[in-house]
Amino acid sequence: MNIDWSKLGFHYTEPDYIVRAGYHDGKWEEPYATKDKFLHLHVSATCLQYGQEAFEGLKAFRGVDGKIRIFRWRENAKRMAKSAEGLYMAPVPEELFGKAIRLALEKNMDFLPPYGTGATLYFRPLLIGTTPRLGVGPGRDFEFIVIPSPIGPYYPGKFHCTTFVVNRHVDRAAPYGTGTFKVGGNYASSFRATEPAHAEGMDCLFLDAKYHRYIDECAAANFIGIKKPTPNPSLKGGESRIEYLTPRSSAILPSITNDSLMTLAKDLGMKVTRRHIRLEELSEMSEAAACGTAAVISPIDKVIDPENNRIYRLSDEPGPVLTKLYHALKDIQYGQAEDRHHWCEVIEI
C-alpha cells in the first residue's frame, strides 16, 4: 500500500473491497465482501426511474492509543432506516448495517490511515431500489452497499472560515417533503444554487421554502450560530450563558454531528436552543458554522444576502467557542478524551 496520507483530500480512493447485501422475497441476505465495484442494474430499476435511493456517511478513526473507533454508527443505521421508510424501501436492520461496516473495515485495513495524519476511513452506506418498473410505484427488491474510502481532513492545513451566500431562488427541500431524509434527490436539487456559489469561492445558505425568512441549512450541512453572553442583572455574575443556536425545521436533515455538538455544548455549560432562526439574527451572532460528518465544523466568516444588498459579518478566523467544540469532538473520536456518552465503538481486528 503506497498512499501519502498527508496529501489525501475529501475524495474517493479505490479500496480493495466493498460490501454488499441484497433484499429479495421479503428478506435480507448476509453481507459479503467483493472486489466488484460495479452495479448490474436493469435500466428500469426503481432507483433510476423513481429515485428510490438513500445513503449515509460515517468514519472509523485510528486513535492515539492505536485502537480503532467507529463513531456513532448506530445513529447512522437508525437514520438510514427512517430514510428507507420515507421512500418505501426495505429498512436495513441495525445488526446487518453494523456487520457490513465491520466487514468493510476488516477487508480494507490497509486503507485505515495512521493516527496523527488527520486522515480517516470513511464509509458510504448506500441503499437502492433494484426492481424493474415502468409504472409509478415503489420497488420490492433492494441492494445495500458499503463503500469505504480513506479521506484526508476537510481542511488541509489550517482550520479556516468560508463565506456563504443566501439563495432565495432555489429551495433545497419543501416542508414535510424529503428534507429530513438523506436521499440523493435533496443534493441534486441544490446543485443549481451550490455550483454557482462554489464557482465564486463561496458556499450556499438555504432559507425555508415556505417564507424564505428562516435559516434552514448550509448547503449539505446543518447550521450553528453562537450568541455571546448578554448582561442580565438577575443572574449570578451579571451575564447570561453562551447560546448555541440551531434551526428547528421540518425540511432539514437531523445531523448526527450537530446532535453530538449540542450535547458537548451542554457539557460545557452553554444554553442550547433549537428554533426558527430569522436570517437577520446573524447580526446578533459572534460565530456561525456549517456542521456535518465531512468537516465536523466549517466556520463562516460572513453571509452575503444579495437580494437585500446586505452582508452579515461574523469572524475572520474560527471563533473560540466553535474551535473548542471542534477539538472536543475530535478528541473523543481519536481517543484523546473520555468518551462519556459512549459514542465510539472500539473494534478489535
Interval 334-345 mean pLDDT? 98
Of the listed ranges 99-113, 224-238, 245-259, the one predicted with least confidence: 224-238
Asked if residue 310 has pLDDT above 80, the reply is: yes
SS3 82: helix
Q: Assess whether pLDDT exceeds 90 at residue 203.
A: yes
Instruction: Tell me the mean pLDDT in the region 305-333.
Output: 96
Region 114-129: mean pLDDT is 96
Q: Give the pLDDT confidence score for residue 237 in this predicted structure.
A: 60
pLDDT digits (tens, 9 = 90+) for 20-62: 999 999 999 999 999 999 999 999 999 999 999 999 999 999 9
CB 74 within 8 A of CB 177: no
Residue 117 has pLDDT above 80, yes or no: yes
- In the prediction, which pLDDT does 155 show? 66
Cα→Cα distances 217→28, 52, 165, Å: 34, 23, 12
The predicted structure's pLDDT at residue 345? 98
**Across residues 162-179, what is the average pLDDT?**
93
Quickly state the pLDDT bin for 283 (edges 50, 70, 90): very high
- Asked if residue 232 has pLDDT above 70, the reply is no
pLDDT score, position 219: 84
Mean pLDDT along residues 221-227? 97
Res 229: pLDDT:
84
Average pLDDT of the chain to the nearest whole number = 94
E strand or H helix at 48:
helix 46-49
pLDDT of residue 157: 61
Q: What pLDDT shows up at residue 154?
A: 74
- At 233-260, the pLDDT tens digits run 666 665 679 999 999 999 999 999 999 9
Checking if the pLDDT of 293 tops 90, the result is yes
> At residue 181, does pLDDT exceed 60?
yes
In this structure, are residues 136 and 67 in contact, taking their beta carbons and an 8 Å threshold?
no
- The angle that helices 256-267 and 320-333 make with each other, rounded to 10 degrees, is 110
Contact 124, 57 (CB under 8 A): yes
